[in-house]
Chain A
Amino acid sequence: MQQYFENIINGIEKTIREDPAAASPRKKFALEISKLGRDLYAGRRPVAWCGIVAPFEILNAMDITSCFVEFIGAMLSSTGAVATFLEGAEQSGFGTDGCSYHRSVLGAAEKGIMPKPEVLIGTTCPCTGGIAVIENLAKIFNKETFILHIPQDESSENVRFLAGLIKDMVEFVELRTGIKLNRNRFLEAIENSNRMRNILGEVYEMARKVPSPFNGKELNNFGIVMSLFLGTKRGIEIAETYRREFSRRIESGHCGVPGEKIRLMWIQNRVQFKNSIVQMLEKEYNAAIVIDELNSITWQPIDPDDPYTGIARRSLSIPFNGPVTRRIDHLKKLCELYKVDGAINPNNWGCRQGAGSRGLIEEGLKEIGVPVLNLEVDCIDSRNFAEGQIRTRLEAFMEMLENKRS
C-alpha cells in the first residue's frame, strides 16, 4: 500500500516538475491525499482511526496521522480493488445490508491492510455504523476506544459538554501515544485551521458564480476530505491553490462546464468508483455539479483563547447532525446560494443516516422547487452498479430539468 501511494506521489510530482502549468488544484489535492495515505502506511508516526467529525486540528498538532476510516473504503473503491474486501467482510458474517464504506474497511482490516492504529476515536455523528466499526477495529487491533458523543443540537450545555469531552480525548491520546499536546503547536494549528477555513470560504463563494468556474470533478469529495487537513500548512496550501486558480478563471471568464445550462447539487458523498455519471452530465446535457452538500463552511472561526469550545462547535455544525430539518435547511440554503436547478441524491445503499432521510429531503427541496433524483446506488461497491439503468434515470431527470427551464 505504501508503495502504491509512493507511486502516485512520484507520478504527480514528476508531471508537475515537467510541466508546472499542469499543477492544477485537483492535482495538488490528490498529491496531499496520497501523502496522507503514505503516512498512514509508513508506520513512522502513530496512527489514529477516527470518526468523521473528530477534532483533526488537535491530532495534527500532535503529529498523529489521523484519518476517518471511511477514507479507506473510498480509496479501495476508487482503485477498483474493493470487491475482495467486501467479499471478505461478507464471509466474516458482516451482512450486506450495512454501509459498504464500513464493510470494506472491516474486510481490509481483517486482511491486514489497514494500518495499525495507536488510538481509535469514534464520533457518534454522522452514523451508528461508524461507531460499530471503531469497536470492531478495537477488537482486531486490541486497542481501547474513545467515543465522542456528538449531541443533537448546539445548545450551550451541549457545546460545553463536547468541549470537555474533547479535552478528555486529548488526555486519552496523550496517555496512549506518549505524545503531549504542545501549547504552541496547538495555537498554531488553530490559526492554520482558521486560515484554511477562511480561504475555503472564499473558494466556496467563488464557486457560486454563474456559470461555475470549475467542473464537476474538481471539488468532488472535497469538503469532507479537507477536514483531515485542519490545522496543517498543507491544508492552507491546497486551499490557496484552489483560490488562486478560481480567481484566475473568474477573471478570464473561464467556465468549468462550457455552455453550462443546468446547475446541480450533489447530496452527501459521490460515487467513489470509476463511473461515467459526471462526464455524461457535462458532455450530453451541459449540466454542471456546482455544489456538493459538504463543500460549505458551517462553523465560526475558532477562538484561540477558548479553542475547545470552537472545535466542539465545528463538530456539531456538520449538517448530518441533529434532526433532518436542520439538514434540509442547509440544503435549501445551498440551492439558493448556488442557483441550483436540481439535486442528485445517491442514497448510498446501507446508509441509514443519509439514505434513510431520502423521502424527507426530497419533500423539503420540493418546497423550494428543486427536484431531487434519487439514484439508489451503492457508492462503494461497483459490482451492483447497473450503468444502463442509472443512465436512463439520469437522462429522464435531465430532460425534465431542461423542459422546466424552457
Chain B
Amino acid sequence: MSKKKYIGFTCAYTPLQILDAAGFTPYRILPIGDPPDRAGQILHDNLCPNIKRILDRALDRDVPPLEGMVFVNSCDAMRRLADAWRRIRPRDRVFLIDLPVTTEEHSISFLKDEIARLTGTLGEWSGNEIATDDIEKSIKKYNRLAALITELNEKFSSNNMTCSRKEIQAIFNRAVTEPIDSSIEFISNFITENDKRSNESDAVPVYIFGNVLPDPEIFSFFESCGAKIVSDDLCTGSRMIPPVDISEDNSPFYSMAKSLLMRTPCLRTMDNSKPHRFGEDIVQRAKARKVSGMIGHTVKFCDPYLLRLPAIRETALKEELPILLLEGDCTMRSIGQHRTRIEAFIEMLR
C-alpha cells in the first residue's frame, strides 16, 4: 500500500466517507495529552480545552504530515479553531463545512450542497475527480465500521465482552486515526477475541454523556471509583461514527446529509419543534440501559452543553435517574480532582 495521505479532522460531524473516497485517511486530532497551555495566546483562554488542545498539538507539530484539514462549523469555538489553524499553518489547505443547527428539510438540503462542495474540493486536493461509485463504496465501509462499533458497545453493555472500557476507548481512538480497512479488521478481531461472558462485578452501572473524553485512562479511573460505564453518549465514544442510511432514490450526498443531521446528536444540534428534545433523549437512552445513574462529563467553556445541562438535569431528576455533572479539560489530572464527587455519587447509588 502506498504511503498514507492524511486529512485532519476535529468533529464527529465530518463526512469521513468523502475523505476516504478521495483516497485520504481521515485523522481525528484528539485532545489527548497534556492540558492545553499555549492556544490561549493565539485565541483566548476561554475556549474549550478540546479546541485549545488541538491547537497546541498543531503548534507542537504533534500531528502526522497532513494533506489538509477539514473543519466543521459546529460551534463558535470550532470556527475560531479553523481561523487559528489558517494562521499558524498557513500552508495547510483548509475546508470548513458549514453545518446547520437544525434537522429539518432545508437544513438537510443545505448540508447536502456543502458535502458536494467538499467533494469538489477534495477532488482538487487529490487530483482526481471523486466518482459516485467510490463514495458509495466508502459509505458501505463506514457503515460496516459503525455496525461493528455498535456491536462492540452492545456486547460490552450486556456483559458479553471480557475487555475493559479503557481498551474499548483505545480501539475507538484507533478507529478515527487509521485507514478504514484496517479499522474494520482490528475491531472485528477484537470482538472475536473478547467475545465471552464477563465476570460479575459489584461495580455500579452508570451511563456517561458529554462531548469529548478520549483518554482511555479516564475510563479506568471511573472503574477505580466503583463505576461501570455501561454505555456512553460521547463524540469520542460510541457516537463518533454515524451510519448512513442510503435511500434508493436519493443521491449519496443527500443520504449522508440526512444521516448526519439525524444521527445521535451532539447538543450543538437542536430540534425546532421540540426544544431540548435531544437532551431529554439522552436521559431516555440512559434509562433504556437500566443504569443506576448517569454522569455528564463536559469540557469547560463548551457553550452548546453549558446552556443545555440544566434541562438534562431537570429531566433526569424528573425521571428519578440520579445524575452527576462534572467539568474538566479531558486530562487525567482534571478528572482526578473529581474523585470524591464520583465516589460519593457511587456510594449514593449503592
Direct contact of A and B (CB under 8 A): yes
Residues on A facing B (Cβ under 8 Å): 92-95, 97-99, 102, 106, 124, 127-129, 131-133, 135-136, 138-139, 144-147, 149, 151-152, 157, 161, 164-165, 168, 323-325, 347, 349-353, 355-360, 363
Closest residue of A by beta carbon distance from B106 = A165
Give the docked Cα–Cα distance between A145 and B310 (Å): 19
From known contacts A135-B308, A357-B80, infer whether A161 and B110 are also in contact, taking CB-CB under 8 Å. yes
The reply to whether A323 and B113 contact each other, CB–CB distance below 8 Å, is no
The reply to whether A357 and B275 contact each other, CB–CB distance below 8 Å, is no
Top-9 shortest CB links A-B: A132-B307, A93-B310, A138-B275, A352-B76, A324-B83, A139-B275, A353-B76, A358-B44, A356-B80
Q: Does B75 contact A (CB under 8 A)?
A: yes
The reply to whether A94 and B73 contact each other, CB–CB distance below 8 Å, is no
The reply to whether B83 and A97 contact each other, CB–CB distance below 8 Å, is no
Q: Does B301 contact A (CB under 8 A)?
A: yes
Q: Does B58 contact A (CB under 8 A)?
A: no
The reply to whether A102 and B307 contact each other, CB–CB distance below 8 Å, is yes
Chain B stretch 75-89: residues in CB contact (< 8 A) with chain A: 75-77, 79-80, 82-84, 86-87
Closest residue of A by beta carbon distance from B46 = A355
The reply to whether A347 and B44 contact each other, CB–CB distance below 8 Å, is yes
* Minimum CB–CB distance for B87 against chain A, Å: 6
Contact with A along B280-322 (1 / 0, CB 8 A): 0000000000000000000011011011111101000000000
- Could you list 22 A-B pairs, sorted by A, with CB under 8 Å? A93-B313, A95-B309, A124-B101, A132-B270, A136-B311, A139-B276, A144-B272, A146-B272, A147-B101, A147-B102, A147-B272, A157-B113, A168-B106, A323-B83, A325-B83, A349-B46, A352-B46, A353-B79, A355-B46, A357-B83, A359-B42, A359-B84
From known contacts A157-B113, A360-B83, infer whether A132 and B304 are also in contact, taking CB-CB under 8 Å. yes
Closest residue of B by beta carbon distance from A358 = B44
The reply to whether A94 and B306 contact each other, CB–CB distance below 8 Å, is yes
Q: Does B96 contact A (CB under 8 A)?
A: yes
A131 contact set on B, CB distance < 8 A: 101, 270
Give the docked Cα–Cα distance between A138 and B279 (Å): 14
B325 contact set on A, CB distance < 8 A: 93
B46 contact set on A, CB distance < 8 A: 97, 349-352, 355-356
A144 contact set on B, CB distance < 8 A: 272-273, 275
- Interface size of B in residues (CB-CB distance below 8 Å): 46
Interface centre among A98, A135, A136 (most CB of B within 10 A): A135
Give the docked Cα–Cα distance between A53 and B280 (Å): 29
B313 contact set on A, CB distance < 8 A: 93
The reply to whether B311 and A139 contact each other, CB–CB distance below 8 Å, is yes
A133 contact set on B, CB distance < 8 A: 307
The reply to whether A352 and B75 contact each other, CB–CB distance below 8 Å, is yes
Q: Does B4 contact A (CB under 8 A)?
A: no
Give the docked Cα–Cα distance between A351 and B268 (Å): 16
A352 contact set on B, CB distance < 8 A: 46-47, 75-77, 80, 301, 303
The reply to whether B41 and A359 contact each other, CB–CB distance below 8 Å, is yes
Closest residue of A by beta carbon distance from B274 = A144
Give the docked Cα–Cα distance between A149 and B110 (Å): 10
The reply to whether B106 and A152 contact each other, CB–CB distance below 8 Å, is no
From known contacts A139-B275, A147-B270, A168-B106, infer whether A98 and B100 are also in contact, taking CB-CB under 8 Å. no
Closest residue of A by beta carbon distance from B307 = A132
The reply to whether A149 and B101 contact each other, CB–CB distance below 8 Å, is yes
Give the docked Cα–Cα distance between A95 and B302 (Å): 10
* Minimum CB–CB distance for B72 against chain A, Å: 11
Give the docked Cα–Cα distance between A168 and B105 (Å): 12
The reply to whether A323 and B86 contact each other, CB–CB distance below 8 Å, is yes
* Minimum CB–CB distance for A114 against chain B, Å: 15
Closest residue of B by beta carbon distance from A363 = B87
* Minimum CB–CB distance for B324 against chain A, Å: 13
Give the docked Cα–Cα distance between A164 and B43 (Å): 35
Q: Does B327 contact A (CB under 8 A)?
A: yes
Closest residue of A by beta carbon distance from B109 = A161
List 18 additional contacts besides A97-B306, A136-B275, A353-B80; criterion CB under 8 Å. A94-B310, A129-B306, A132-B270, A132-B306, A144-B275, A149-B100, A151-B98, A151-B110, A157-B113, A161-B110, A323-B79, A323-B83, A349-B46, A352-B47, A352-B80, A355-B44, A357-B43, A360-B42
The reply to whether A98 and B83 contact each other, CB–CB distance below 8 Å, is no
* Minimum CB–CB distance for A89 against chain B, Å: 9
Interface centre among B73, B307, B308, B309 (most CB of A within 10 A): B307
* Minimum CB–CB distance for B199 against chain A, Å: 38
The reply to whether B308 and A132 contact each other, CB–CB distance below 8 Å, is yes
Q: Does B107 contact A (CB under 8 A)?
A: yes
A165 contact set on B, CB distance < 8 A: 106
Give the docked Cα–Cα distance between A80 and B241 (Å): 48
Closest residue of B by beta carbon distance from A95 = B306
B310 contact set on A, CB distance < 8 A: 92-94
* Minimum CB–CB distance for A216 against chain B, Å: 25
Closest residue of B by beta carbon distance from A103 = B307
The reply to whether A323 and B100 contact each other, CB–CB distance below 8 Å, is no
Contact with A along B255-274 (1 / 0, CB 8 A): 00000000000001010110
A152 contact set on B, CB distance < 8 A: 73, 79, 96, 98
From known contacts A157-B113, A323-B82, A355-B44, infer whether A149 and B102 are also in contact, taking CB-CB under 8 Å. yes
The reply to whether A98 and B73 contact each other, CB–CB distance below 8 Å, is no
B44 contact set on A, CB distance < 8 A: 347, 355-359
From B77, B107, B304, contact of A356 by CB (8 A): B77
A164 contact set on B, CB distance < 8 A: 106
Give the docked Cα–Cα distance between A283 and B83 (Å): 38
B77 contact set on A, CB distance < 8 A: 128, 352, 356
From known contacts A128-B75, A128-B268, A139-B275, infer whether A97 and B43 are also in contact, taking CB-CB under 8 Å. no
Give the docked Cα–Cα distance between A360 and B79 (Å): 13
Give the docked Cα–Cα distance between A151 and B301 (Å): 24
A136 contact set on B, CB distance < 8 A: 275-276, 307-308, 311
Give the docked Cα–Cα distance between A168 and B104 (Å): 12
